[in-house]
Amino acid sequence: MKPAPLFETAVIAGVGLIGGSVAHGLRGRFLARRVIGYDANSDALRTAEALGAIDEARATPGPWLNGADLVVLAAPVKALPKLAADLAPHLNPKALVTDVGSVKGPVADALAQLGVRNFVPGHPMAGSERGGVEHASAALLENAIWVLTPTDDTPLPALSRARTLVEHLGAAPVVMPPDAHDHLVATISHLPYLASLALTHMVARDERLSLLAAGGFRDLTRVASGDPRMSRDMVVENKEALRAALVRFRRELERLEADLDAPEELLAAAHEGKRTRDSLPVVKRSLLPPKFDLVVAVPDRPNQIGAVTQALGAAGVNIKDIEVLAIREEGGAIRLGLESVEDVASARTLLEGLGFETRGR
């Protein structure tokens, strides 16, 4: 018996960096039988299909959406309310609907007004300055904190399904109200973005400054390379919380300026900064490159994992790493970390010959 996936049909609306990463995770970990991509941009859909992120592409909303039991809204924050309004008339009332937007208050309000049921606002705390499905990867979401921000309208079973989805994608759900989330990300994500703009503006008109810019400057300003319009919209959507964070930031800068004449105070601030930075949790991802991974569906029969490892051992394929991805009552999947792309190809042929279903990344 094949393992039953968590979802029959998942729709990813906005197949870019994050939507594409969710799609890869759903397909790669056998969490959905079918993944449909919906996007305003036909190039994004074509690329998503070519990269194996989605099984099927759709460019217009319609009755086909009624077959989805999971809908993930993954367009830029500013586009989310209109996207939800376009899809809402066709959604199955039983579908779990979630989003991945960087600001939660506005989208939570918009979906409440639309009366979308089973909506659980969400935000994976992982990403990159490089957008687009071509940069998407299931590994991006692995071990990431993924905030879920239920509202008074969110049914508890929907929250529980959203938690299960996040966990099966390999991330760690953290639940809090939308406004608490928006205040926290103002400080740890949106303020750093504005700070990166301020720093880059200071070197923009002086070639000598950019010539000398080394690792420190690059580390501090990486997020300035993100999509300008999307980043602008993200910070504007959260401007009230961001203003409060800016007030505190200015105060911090003024204190540090004053401490230039009080070296002991400055040393204490430097120690505190080092302690805080050094104790930030490190997000552990797979040590092996994802291209050496093979995910194998494990049916609900005795000794199936043993059958996989024995077959590979007998064929001389070395398993460097093994991870149980989603073992439920009906079976699940295991991720094998192998040594080379050639090993992935031979393991795939061997295991498929034995009747196992496999997915590479």
Ligand X SMILES: NC(=O)c1ccc[n+]([C@@H]2O[C@H](COP(=O)([O-])OP(=O)(O)OC[C@H]3O[C@@H](n4cnc5c(N)ncnc54)[C@H](O)[C@@H]3O)[C@@H](O)[C@H]2O)c1
Ligand Y SMILES: O=C(O)C(=O)C[C@]1(C(=O)O)C=C[C@@H](O)C=C1
Question: 139 is in the binding site of which of ligand Y, ligand X, none (Cβ under 5 to 8 A by kind)?
Answer: none
The stretch near ligand X (CB under 6 A) out of 24-32, 127-135, 197-205, 330-338 is 127-135
Distances (CA, A) of 215 to 204, 220, 349: 17, 8, 44
With contact defined as beta carbons under 8 Å apart, do 164 and 32 qualify?
no
CA dist., res. 159 & res. 141, Å (int): 19
| Complete edge-to-edge strand list for the sheet that includes strand 293-299 | 321-324, 331-337, 293-299, 358-360
CA dist., res. 9 & res. 88, Å (int): 16
**Helix (H/G/I), strand (E/B), else coil: 7:** strand
The stretch near ligand Y (CB under 6 A) out of 125-133, 246-254, 324-332, 337-345 is 125-133
Choose, by CB under 6 A, the member of 4, 33, 34, 41 that binds ligand X.
41
223 touches ligand Y (CB under 6 A): yes
| Residue of minimal Cβ distance to ligand Y | 102
Residues numbered 221-250 forming contacts with ligand X, rule: CB under 6 A:
227, 230, 234
Choose, by CB under 6 A, the member of 46, 49, 52, 128 that binds ligand X.
128
Choose, by CB under 6 A, the member of 77, 141, 159, 186 that binds ligand X.
77
Size of the site for ligand Y (CB under 6 A): 8
Shortest distance (Å) from residue 302 CB to ligand X: 41
Closest to ligand X by CB, 145 or 307: 145
User: 16: which strand partners?
Assistant: none
**Helix (H/G/I), strand (E/B), else coil: 33:** strand
Closest to ligand Y by CB, 149 or 189: 189
Question: 39 is in the binding site of which of ligand Y, ligand X, none (Cβ under 5 to 8 A by kind)?
Answer: ligand X
Nearest to 113 by CA among 135, 88, 144: 88
Residue type at 276 in one-letter notation: T
Choose, by CB under 6 A, the member of 3, 7, 11, 14 that binds ligand X.
14
158 touches ligand Y (CB under 6 A): no
CA dist., res. 17 & res. 15, Å (int): 7
Nearest to 102 by CA among 79, 128, 77, 83: 77
With contact defined as beta carbons under 8 Å apart, do 37 and 57 qualify?
yes
The stretch near ligand X (CB under 6 A) out of 25-33, 52-60, 98-106, 341-349 is 98-106
**Helix (H/G/I), strand (E/B), else coil: 286:** coil
Question: 191 is in the binding site of which of ligand X, ligand Y, none (Cβ under 5 to 8 A by kind)?
Answer: none
Tell me which residues touch ligand X (CB under 6 A): 13-19, 39-41, 44, 74-77, 79, 82-83, 100-102, 123-124, 127-128, 131-132, 227, 230, 234
**Residue ranges in contact with ligand Y by CB under 6 A:** 102, 125-129, 189, 223
